[in-house]
Amino acid sequence: MTVMELAQSIGARILLPGKPGGEISRIYAGDRMSDLLEQADARTLLVTHLANRHLVQVAELMDVPGICLVQGVDPEPGLLAAAAACGTALLLSQAGLQDTCSRLERSLKERRGP
């Protein structure tokens, strides 16, 4: 599923569309940079409360196609600029971390089928 399809399936606001494509096969939620770095890869959507520009450095380093911020958090201007510069999609969910992850997982599972 693409980042944009996932965003639409959970009703997340698209702050930045990122690069075209951006296939996602799994999500990873966390609020520690070290955990995000360890789990990130080119098919992972990162879901987090973190909203600073350092998050994009993790995404860029690991070729992560997108980041979903939760609880309607306002991203720092540096985060928006950094994500735009490296082509990382940036989504915003009004739901909390656990609810957002549940919705995302359900969408991925429905796409895969039984």
Domains annotated on the chain, with CATH? 3-112 (3.40.1390.20)
Band of the pLDDT at 24, cuts 50, 70, 90?
Answer: very high
Question: Among residues 21, 40, 33, which one has the least CA distance to residue 89?
Answer: 21
* Dist. CA 91–CA 69, nearest whole Å: 6
- pLDDT tens per residue, range 36-88: 888 889 999 999 998 988 888 888 888 899 999 999 998 988 999 999 999 99
